[in-house]
Structure 1
Amino acid sequence: MAPPTEGTYKLNTDASVKINSGRGKVSGIFRYHRGDWVIGYTKVFTHVDVYQAELLAILEGLKIAITHHLTSLEINSDSATVISMITSDYPRYSNTVAECRYLMRELGTPTLRYTCREQNSVADVMERSTSVDNAPFDQLHILRVTLLYVAQAMVADKHGVAFPRRIAIVNIVNNVNTSPTLSNSVGGSTDTLQTSCINAT
């Protein structure tokens, strides 16, 4: 994926949910077009599903963009389903979707793109860095400096490092007509397909 144009900020978001508790963690990182850290954030929610969490990750990022006047913006998410919810009519999560659309209009309608998980590695590392079990919920944590545990992912991202990934073939078959995103854990065939994406800022 090509980097954003000069003078543009890039927001990468990610989210995960513990099915048994319904606690979800969202995270995001703003970077300048050269890949430099601008600001990051994390937040834990209760009683959400994975699509709600992915939407909330984008929503929290949009709020931060408004607050910090990051108006020249490109947004990347690894959930094609959630991008479709925002860009087309969708009955579920209507309040959150409407708020996302409103804030995007306030920001001058930033570009919203799908990116595969390998290209979203920095936000993914941030999201996986701490457990939702021990984190206070509904508190936004602003991260103003580069975190040590994401520094390696940022360096790889700047240099376009490819990361191979193995995906169960049954996951692709089961999801192709039902959801544009691949499930994190789906039982089935042990046959695998190795894939890779090139990271770009």
Structure 2
Amino acid sequence: MTESSPTIPAKKNISICWFPPTANTFKLNIDGAFLQGSQTCSISGVLRDFVGNWVVGFCKKIYAYSHVMTELEALHTGLEFVLDNHITSLEVEINSIEVIDLFHYAHPNYQPIVESCRSLLRRLGNPVVHHNFRQGNRLADFLAKEGS
């Protein structure tokens, strides 16, 4: 009898970059920077057109008790920002899988802000919310870190 070693999956190289939205659509990239041990955080958002041109952005300090709440606040602020600027054709990109999961699996600590984000998304025509890694969202990541 011979022992077999466990199979280790091969590493995959993936390309991480910013992809433009579909034609005549805007893309909102949002991010948050949460400082462990401090409730002072920073959130940011960048709105670009389908060519990739910067349209407008925001960065501000907030108070939050977790990195998930920071990302949710960034999403909420970004969606309000888009509504205030009368943008209708939109895609949203965020680097937090946890936030995307909260739209499918309720968590009582985050339910009020998740419901508010859902309401804003409905008012915007239910745009697609994508995940992208931090490296594919560099500008929003940079702004969030600069603001913290």
Normalised-by-shorter TM-score class: 0.7 to 0.9
Distance 1:66 1:5 in 2: 19
Q: Secondary structure at the match of 1:59?
A: helix
How much has 1:2 moved relative to structure 2?
4.4
Does structure 2 conserve the Cα–Cα contact (< 8 Å) formed by 1:29 and 1:39? yes
Gaps of 5+ in 2: 1-17
Question: Superposed, which structure 2 residues align to 1:38-117 within 5 Å?
Answer: 38-117=55-134
Amino acid corresponding to residue 14 of structure 1 in structure 2: D
Length-normalised TM-score, structure 1 = 0.62
Amino acid corresponding to residue 24 of structure 1 in structure 2: C
Matched, 1:21 2:38: yes
Distance 2:70 2:139 in 1: 17
Does structure 1 conserve the Cα–Cα contact (< 8 Å) formed by 2:64 and 2:70? no
Amino acid corresponding to residue 82 of structure 2 in structure 1: A
How much has 1:103 moved relative to structure 2?
0.4
Corresponding residue for residue 15 of structure 2: none
Distance 1:87 1:40 in 2: 28
How much has 1:23 moved relative to structure 2?
0.9
Length-normalised TM-score, structure 2 = 0.83
Q: Name the structure, 1 or 2, with higher relative contact order (CA <8 Å, separation 6+).
A: 2
Runs of 4+ off more than 4 Å: none
Gaps of 5+ in 1: 133-201
Does structure 2 conserve the Cα–Cα contact (< 8 Å) formed by 1:15 and 1:25? yes
Aligned-residue Cα RMSD (Å) equals: 1.4
